[in-house]
A and B are shown apart, each in its own frame.
Chain A
Amino acid sequence: MDGDLMTINMGPNHPATHGVLRLKCQTDGEIISGITPVIGYLHRCFEKHSENVTYEQVIPYVDRCDYLSSMTMDFGYVVAVEKLMNIEVPEKVEYIRVVMAELQRIASHLLALGVYGMDMGAFTPMLYMLKERERILDLFELTCGARLLYNYMWVGGLSHDLPRGFVEMTYQFLDQFEPKIDEYDNVLSNNKIFVERTADIGVLPPDVAVNYGVTGPNLRASGVKWDLRKNEAYSIYDRFDFEVPIGEGIKGTVGDCWDRYYVRMIEIRESVKIVRQALAKMPKDGDVHKAVPKKIRPPKGSIYSRTESSRGDLGYYIISDGTPTPSRVKMRSPSFASLSAISEISEGWMMSDMISVLGSLDIVLGEIDR
């Protein structure tokens, strides 16, 4: 039977698009034969804003780009500005930053995995994971008063020192959290239906992934061992002992949706390891404001600095003209590159598989549209 293709608009309002994304799908019945992503619904031109505010005022904007992983977004930005200014940050600040970034990574991955389960129709695992995420957000709230958009990391320091009892509470959290990961494996990762829905679906071969600039867990799931925390250790990541998990195709092919899901699961375990080590080694004393410059006025020049956010290589291209306001701030957002690969890997699959692929890429539209 020969017929025309039906164009169907998925989004901007759709439960599975994780924000306001529009996918123009050419469908042949249930089969997708073409996808054109249309983005920009959340565009605020944060880069233009940045040209009119001072360096420290950019941080809240950066927070709001990837609102699910604000700490790592801050981290990337302050690292870039510090490199530009050649600021030496106190030990304690570095440790606190790593603890925060890794807790944030756990929180972000938990949300990603939970919501992915929900995309597949499994509602319960999401609530299990959100419950643990809440505890992390409580820790953040204790530290800086905010639960989502922290503005916690400052150039050269932090907004607050750790509150009393934070270390003990974090240990407590980690102790009760670690067994839960096995629970997630039982309820979702090894669920037969879930495996059927995700294994062998939307395979992203390593060369295609690199070519599209896909980074982070998505790239690692394709079998490329690339993690900036290891390969280009910024801050103090070279002092910790952790593994970089890669997709092994346990349930299907290397680089399928299940691998992308499971790499995140293992990364949570690795992040727990890092947090434990950082808490153990963290110096007790020290002023977190010691290295905060009175005036942030980087010398003329430009820098491209990358860090590993929860979603991949987060790059900042900052051009300074010697004034207190940046001349240009460009964010290379990992989700942007990940999303660009979607038409490559989900064409020819069914509607439901496309949802599966989209969910496994774990995009945040705030960061794509900026």
Chain B
Amino acid sequence: MTDQEKQIQEYVEKGLSGDMASVNSIEDRILRGKVKAAIVKAKRLGGKKESSQLKKTDARSSTDDIITKLVDEGLTGNMENINALDDRVLRAKVKSALIKAKKQTVKKSDKTNLNSPNLDLNKDNPNVKFAELIQQKFPDAIQCEINEEYIGIKPDYWLNVARWLKSDPAASFDSLQCVTGTDIGESKLDSRYNLHSMKLGHLIEIRIEVPIENPKIPSIEQIWRSGDWFERETYDMYGIKYEGHRDLRRMLLPEDWEGYPLRKDYQEQETYHGIIVKKIKEEVWD
């Protein structure tokens, strides 16, 4: 700590204890400015600590407990206690939490449905056709059951499959239309590619699933140049690391942004360059 910082600290302490006269009497204008700024900051932080934070933690923990309890009840079918709540805000919160919880259970069952074998497949569907072709060419590459909606591919095989998809005359997917990242829950991220062939006019969808802790997918930026920006955008929003991308930087957000906003568990950062990020009030509609 330099002398100046020490000085500032001294003055700040004086100022906080109510002795603003000594602060105002500082002759060095820059120093005075710094001290005042520090006092304002300290007051803001200190004020929060005293008033809101302490109280809130108390209140929060109690309401949180109630909500979790009621949600558990609601899931088993007992809605009486919830409807009997006097506090409307609390009631709404409980209901929304209940819907969320239900959604998650729905998702789980949905997943199992998708994985069940689908026998009446349309052979003309490009997704089915190319999934079969890929399976012949790269036996282990397909990650999921063959279906009409998409082709699931294991990340390790993706680069080779992509090269083949572009160069093979029967496929000749010369245009990468879109790369969509998505958070599919159960701590998994999805990267979805819509490929299109200008020559042959067919459209397929590739999905690659990666775990959220270590999302790594080989980059196809050098195969389809449009992948360059699309992958950067997906990296920006979901943090999927495209290995081999020559310029994997954030695209739309600033370089020093924390977190990946489109993940479902995203928490916005507390401060950004010293500016306190305002929390948006969670309003629930009844």
Contact = CB atoms under 8 A, between A and B. Distances in A.
- Judged by CB atoms under 8 Å, the answer to whether A and B touch is yes
Contact of A321 (B103, B230, B254): B103
Interface string A316-354: 010101110001101010001100110010000000000
Contacts of A171: none
Given A213-B226, A226-B198, A231-B201, A45 B261 contact: yes
A315 B251 contact: no
B194 interface: yes
A321 B205 CA distance: 19
A165 B277 CA distance: 51
Interface residues of A, number: 39
Contacts of B183: 328
B73 to A, nearest CB: 22
Contacts of A330: 178, 180-182
Given A315-B178, A330-B180, A340-B228, A39 B251 contact: yes
Contact of B229 (A45, A224, A306, A337): A337
Interface of A is mostly: mixed
Given A301-B149, A317-B194, A340-B226, A210 B251 contact: no
A211 interface: yes
A47 interface: yes
Interface in B86-109: 99, 103, 106-107
A104 B177 CA distance: 24
Contact of A40 (B99, B149, B254, B261): B254
Contacts of A51: 262
A66 interface: no
Interface of B is mostly: mixed
A212 B226 contact: yes
A306 B205 CA distance: 13
B128 to A, nearest CB: 16
Given A48-B262, A213-B224, A39 B149 contact: no
A267 interface: no
Contacts of A212: 225-226
B66 interface: no
A83 interface: no
Contacts of B203: 304
Interface in B228-286: 228-230, 237, 250-254, 261-262
A344 B225 CA distance: 10
Q: How large is the interface on B (under 10, 10 to 19, 20 to 34, 35 or more residues)?
A: 35 or more
A344 B229 CA distance: 13
A317 B175 contact: no
Contact of A211 (B177, B178, B224, B254): B224
A368 to B, nearest CB: 9
Given A210-B174, A211-B226, A317-B192, A328 B252 contact: no
Contacts of A45: 252, 261-262
Contacts of B180: 304, 317, 328, 330
Nearest to B234: A330
B229 A302 contact: no
A323 B99 CA distance: 10
Given A40-B254, A304-B178, A211 B149 contact: no
A43 B103 contact: no
A131 interface: no
A115 B176 CA distance: 30
Contacts of A327: 182
19 contacts: A40-B254, A43-B253, A45-B261, A47-B237, A47-B262, A211-B174, A224-B198, A231-B201, A304-B177, A304-B194, A315-B178, A321-B107, A327-B182, A330-B182, A332-B178, A340-B225, A340-B226, A340-B228, A340-B229
Interface of A: 39-40, 43, 45, 47-48, 51, 207-208, 210-213, 224, 226, 231, 300-302, 304, 306, 313, 315, 317, 319, 321-323, 327-328, 330, 332, 336-337, 340-341, 344, 369-370
Nearest first, the 10 closest Cβ-Cβ pairs linking A and B are: A213-B226, A40-B252, A332-B178, A330-B180, A317-B180, A43-B252, A340-B229, A211-B225, A328-B182, A212-B225
